[in-house]
A and B are shown apart, each in its own frame.
Chain A
């Protein structure tokens, strides 16, 4: 039964955070195996819509014209050497606004994980802990490099980034809990478009998340809250400017169904307009359908 809950539970960990539409997407959550499986592959489709933009003056400005993002994502992870694991995330992003659209690769990432706190004896109080390193490649193109109308061809943050963090999980009775903390450093790069050129200087960023779930028969329902922060992006070049930090909180509700020990599906809804004190960002709402195949140890 415990294992059954673990299988359901690992579905409740939030997927990649979606973020400012101007930037195509947020820093990807790591692809990790949180349960007791040998390997897993997850395919998902997420549809999000920008609702509001919050300026550097902290005023909210409602968006009247629709701007949507559809993200197809394949993620995989595999255990190696008992406590180690490696994973990847490959997003394909389609952005649309006012009849125009752009489709292409988002920022891809690779993850190395290590089970720092194993839960071999199913301790009543000690959580299971997985630490991880994550490398993100700028395959999604920074908004500064955009050449398309509405900047729709920016499908990621567009910076090389190296992150590290930890995920703690605990199942007790029908309830499961998780918390995760991640920090990353994005690296400077040169940029050029038809109007401007120069060098971009991003900085540190991070995510902190917590969540809870209730498991009943083959179903898990859960909620989570993720806070995201990014340092300002300063620019030196044709135009020079000092940026403003970006922050927002994403609340998510999810329902998962475990069809068998090998297959599971999750439907989730995320909203960035409900919590926190957002600054310098776009806020949206998203629905995600996720299908997961697992291979047991």
Chain B
């Protein structure tokens, strides 16, 4: 009987929300990576936000691909995919432009919902994530 009462209590208990902090990353004037990660192929990438996305507006960030401190400049543009692994879906397409040797800007960065996301930066020609770096981001 006690177990049944406990089960009933647990099932009908009021929700107890834990609200997350609303602080977000700020834009920076010079390129100092805020987060970094490694590609499977050995390159590394550093990312810095220019403007953080909001619930209704796009954001943008720059990223630098390097190996042992030297910029790596792929001939084609790397691709950027925003991915929410817990839900198994992405967001709207990101636009990538080249700024300089190994340095790129990603614009139209938008997260469809709040939560924990991954920013996948994939080297050109990589298929099914074989050479990509994954940077975590909480929106």
Contact = CB atoms under 8 A, between A and B. Distances in A.
Nearest to A201: B88
Contacts, number: 124
Interface stretch (B9-17, B30-38, B40-48, B64-72): B9-17
Given A60-B20, A273-B17, A243 B86 contact: yes
Given A61-B114, A151-B112, A237-B128, A196 B15 contact: no
A277 interface: yes
Nearest to A144: B89
A275 B89 CA distance: 27
A62 B116 contact: no
A235 B81 CA distance: 14
B55 to A, nearest CB: 4
A244 interface: yes
- Chain B interface size, as a band, is 35 or more
B93 interface: yes
A63 B110 CA distance: 15
B112 A58 contact: no
A55 B115 contact: yes
Contacts of A198: 128
Interface string A224-257: 0101000011110111111110100100000000
A177 interface: no
Interface residues of A, number: 55
B87 A243 contact: yes
B93 A195 contact: yes
Interface string B45-56: 000000000111
Nearest to A234: B88
B92 interface: yes
Interface string A27-54: 0000000000000000000000000110
Interface in B6-28: 11-20
A64 interface: yes
A239 B93 CA distance: 14
B101 interface: no
A55 B83 contact: no
A225 B19 contact: no
A238 to B, nearest CB: 6
A143 B87 CA distance: 9
Contacts of A21: 113
13 contacts: A55-B116, A56-B86, A56-B115, A58-B18, A59-B19, A59-B20, A61-B114, A142-B89, A151-B112, A198-B128, A235-B88, A238-B129, A276-B13
4 A-B pairs with the lowest CB-CB distances in the bound complex, closest first? A56-B86, A241-B85, A55-B115, A61-B114
